[in-house]
């Protein structure tokens, strides 16, 4: 099987490098011609992964048709809000029956759909899988040990793709709960912004631990209401990813929250998917009668402009209750 990666940012480059490190030819498509030229001439992606050498068998291209030529497995590493239009560009170039592996995390703001539903609408007839879990692009690109989850509606497909895409340092666990993997991956981004804001306000390690723990309660409640299985949410793509993304500024969502807490300008920060998912996640929770005060707090900071200090003060002033009610 031939593998192509669509998306030349940090995560797409890291996944392509991981597969190419064993000498397997992998094509990496990047829309930015300068990034492609830099990868070809320097052997690294200086914009997104500076200082990390990329294997020679990773071929960077700027032509979508060339990138997808003969590809049986296509890793889509694209922002959730850009995915629908990108699928329309991909459609004429995809090989019939090519498996599509979704590697980004987010909720489409206009529809409330996860990525798999968007792709199934735009590219029917292609097997769809989702890949998610606690993983920093720099770790994967450097060949450091990482474990993630890959889910497809058919267990055999998930197992086959997991076997095909794994490497000695990149362990993939197969599953069939697509929605659970997507819910965990999307909601943890929103919660990481709250964790970053707490750190930016200097609220301390105890407050951060409380936010992560209570945030997971919200992730579990809303995820299950959306149809996710509890065991998936407790796994790598749920709890595991939440722990990692709330661990420090290497996480883009945590870094964004950190800047909010410090009152800094966020306009120059790298893309943080939680920024686009917060309002729709809060809406989904309200529609299902799910209490999600941390998610609501992040939405208020981002969409209503509520200062982080005021938002956190209001969160902490909520009436006391039993822990597991």
Contact (CB, 8 A) for 249 and 196: yes
Residue 46 lies in a domain: yes
Contact (CB, 8 A) for 127 and 155: no
pLDDT of residue 1: 64
Task: Please determine, for residue 325, whether its predicted confidence score (pLDDT) is greater than 80.
Answer: no
Domain count, the chain: 2
> From CA 144, how far away is CA 133, in angstroms rounded?
15
Number of C-alpha atoms within 13 angstroms, CB side, residue 192? 31
* Single pTM value for the model: 0.96
CATH number where 144 lies: 3.40.50.720
Residue 197 structure tokens: 């804001």
pLDDT of residue 38: 94
- Examine the domain organization and report whether 171 and 190 are in the same domain: no
> From CA 105, how far away is CA 251, in angstroms rounded?
13
Residue 153 lies in a domain: yes
- Examine the domain organization and report whether 166 and 36 are in the same domain: yes
Residue that is written with structure tokens 């694209």 in the block = 78
Contact (CB, 8 A) for 323 and 217: no
Binding residue numbers for sn-glycerol 3-phosphate: 105, 133, 135, 188, 241, 251-253
> From CA 72, how far away is CA 66, in angstroms rounded?
13
CATH number where 262 lies: 1.10.1040.10
Contact (CB, 8 A) for 249 and 255: yes
Dihedral Cα 106, 112, 113, 115, nearest 10 deg: -20
Binding residue numbers: 7-12, 31, 48, 105, 133, 135, 137, 188, 241, 251-253, 270-271, 273
Residue 322 lies in a domain: no
- Examine the domain organization and report whether 44 and 25 are in the same domain: yes
Residue 95 structure tokens: 């090989």
Catalytic amino acids? Answer: 188
- Examine the domain organization and report whether 13 and 120 are in the same domain: yes
Binding residue numbers for substrate: 105, 252-253
Q: Which of 176, 195, 213 is the last residue of a domain?
A: 176
- Examine the domain organization and report whether 104 and 214 are in the same domain: no
Q: Per residue in 193-226, pLDDT tens?
A: 999 999 999 999 999 999 999 999 999 999 999 9
pLDDT of residue 75: 98
> From CA 251, how far away is CA 259, in angstroms rounded?
12
Averaged pLDDT for residues 227-250: 97
Binding residue numbers for NADPH: 11, 31, 48, 105, 137, 252, 271, 273
How high is the mean pLDDT of the chain? 96
Of 9, 4, 31, nearest to 19 (Cα)?
Answer: 4
Averaged pLDDT for residues 73-95: 97
> From CA 91, how far away is CA 99, in angstroms rounded?
13
Residue-range definition of the domain harbouring residue 59: 3-176
Q: Per residue in 13-65, pLDDT tens?
A: 999 999 999 888 999 999 989 999 999 999 999 999 999 999 999 999 999 99
Averaged pLDDT for residues 94-108: 96
Q: Which of 124, 154, 176 is the last residue of a domain?
A: 176
Q: How many CB atoms lie within 10 A of CB 96?
A: 6
> From CA 244, how far away is CA 290, in angstroms rounded?
25
| b/e code 65-77 from CB counts within 10 Å (16+ = b) | eebbeebebbbbb
Q: Find all residues with CB under 8 Å of 287, minimum gap 6, and list them.
A: none
Helix (H) or strand (E) holding 172: strand 170-175
Of 261, 288, 120, 129, nearest to 195 (Cα)?
Answer: 261
* Phi and psi at residue 109, to the nearest 5°: -65, -40
Residue 313 structure tokens: 């003060």
Task: Please determine, for residue 108, whether its predicted confidence score (pLDDT) is greater than 80.
Answer: yes
Residue 264 structure tokens: 């800094």
């Amino acid at each position: 099987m031939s593998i192509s990666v669509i998306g030349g940012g940090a995560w797409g480059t890291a996944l392509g490098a991981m597969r190419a490190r064993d000498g397997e030819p992998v094509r990496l498509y990047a829309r930015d011609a300068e990034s492609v030229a830099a990868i070809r001439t320097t052997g690294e992606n200086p914009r997104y992964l500076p200082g990390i050498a990329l294997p020679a068998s990773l071929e960077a291209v700027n032509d979508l048709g060339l990138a997808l030529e003969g590809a049986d497995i296509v890793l889509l590493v694209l922002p959730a809000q850009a995915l629908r239009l990108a699928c329309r560009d991909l459609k004429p170039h995809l090989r019939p029956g090519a498996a599509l592996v979704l590697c980004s995390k987010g909720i489409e703001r206009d529809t409330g759909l996860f990525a798999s539903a968007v792709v199934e609408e735009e590219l029917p007839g292609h097997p769809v899988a989702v890949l998610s879990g606690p993983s920093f692009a720099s770790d994967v690109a450097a060949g450091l040990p990482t474990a993630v989850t890959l889910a497809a509606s058919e267990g055999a497909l998930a197992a086959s793709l997991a076997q095909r895409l794994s490497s000695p340092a990149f362990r993939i666990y197969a599953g069939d709960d697509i929605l659970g993997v997507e819910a965990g991956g999307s909601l943890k981004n929103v919660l990481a912004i709250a964790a970053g804001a707490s750190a930016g306000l200097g609220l301390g390690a105890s407050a951060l631990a409380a936010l992560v723990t209570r945030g997971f309660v919200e992730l579990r409640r809303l995820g299950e209401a959306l149809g996710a299985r509890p065991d998936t949410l407790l796994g790598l793509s749920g709890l595991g990813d939440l722990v990692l993304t709330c661990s420090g500024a290497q996480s883009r969502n945590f870094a964004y929250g950190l800047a909010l807490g410090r009152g800094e300008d966020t306009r120059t920060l790298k893309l943080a998917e939680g920024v686009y998912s917060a309002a729709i996640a809060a809406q989904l929770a309200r529609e299902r009668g799910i209490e999600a005060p941390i998610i609501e707090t992040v939405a208020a900071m981002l969409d209503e402009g509520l200062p982080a200090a005021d938002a956190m003060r209001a969160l902490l002033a909520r009436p006391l209750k039993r822990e597991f009610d």
